[in-house]
Amino acid sequence: MSVDQRVLGFLKNNPGASPREIADALGLPISTVRIAILRLREAGYVVKSARGGYVVRVAPPPIEDYLTGESGVGDKLADLKNITQKLEKRIENLENIIERLVNRIDKLETELRLLSKGVGSQQKGKGGSMRSRPADRLLAGLKEKGILSFEEAKSLTVRPISYYVDKGQAMVVGDYIVDPDFFKEFKKRFPLILKEVGNLSKEEKRLLDEMIKDGQVYLYGGKEYRLIE
């Protein structure tokens, strides 16, 4: 039985369980459980509960098939994986084509600016800049804000969010998707004195709250927040 199936089976019998509770009950790393929940949410099997844990959807795709692997679900998942891989390949090819077109357009625009302003080092300097490659919307959003809700992240990409997590371009913290560099820099602020919390940005406060809920941070002596390593 796969990790996703074990997590889904546990939630079916223990609605509202948190990732930490699931990890402890199944003897799995918390990071493995978070990624499994991410996949289950994207597949439509699991939703966030009002109390903070996770529950199986009231009307999800056939759960028993997913749990048992019967009725050709295994084949369907394999087909879905093949389709996803083909789509990712096509997207990659399209990105390469777009990149070449953008570079060609940049070159033509540069030549037009040089022709219109005359040949000279100053004009050449103004006309020689190149546009950067169009950024992935999800990665751009993470780089801009550092942290996005699951729904915000999902609205910015057609790819599964787990794709970015697997590539190390994003990570899951509680119910949020976080830029790894943002997370790494934020951890350097610990131990974090309680009175300094008010100086944090909105995104940093959001990350701190999720780390506390997720059991990664605790308040020591009522004076400062410390990491649980």
Q: Tell me the pLDDT tens digit for each residue of 196-228.
A: 999 999 999 999 999 998 888 999 988 999 998
Residue 132 burial (10 A CB sphere; 0-12, 13-18, 19+): exposed
**Average pLDDT taken over every residue of the chain:** 82
Please choose, from the candidates 46, 48, 80, 77, the residue with its C-alpha nearest in 3D space to the C-alpha of residue 63.
Answer: 46
Q: What is the pLDDT of residue 69?
A: 52
Contact 15, 9 (CB under 8 A): no
Q: How confident is residue 183, by pLDDT bands cut at 50, 70 and 90?
A: very high
> What is the model's pLDDT at position 73?
46
Higher pLDDT: 193 or 71? It is: 193
Q: Mean of the pLDDT values across residues 40-63?
A: 80
Domain boundaries, the chain: 3-68, 80-127, 137-180, 183-227
pTM: 0.61
CATH of domain 3-68: 1.10.10.10
What pLDDT shows up at residue 62? 58
pLDDT in the model for residue 188: 94
CB 14 within 8 A of CB 21: yes
Identify the pLDDT of residue 186.
Answer: 96
Q: Which residues pair with 148 in a beta bridge?
A: 177
Q: What is the mean pLDDT of residues 106-122?
A: 66
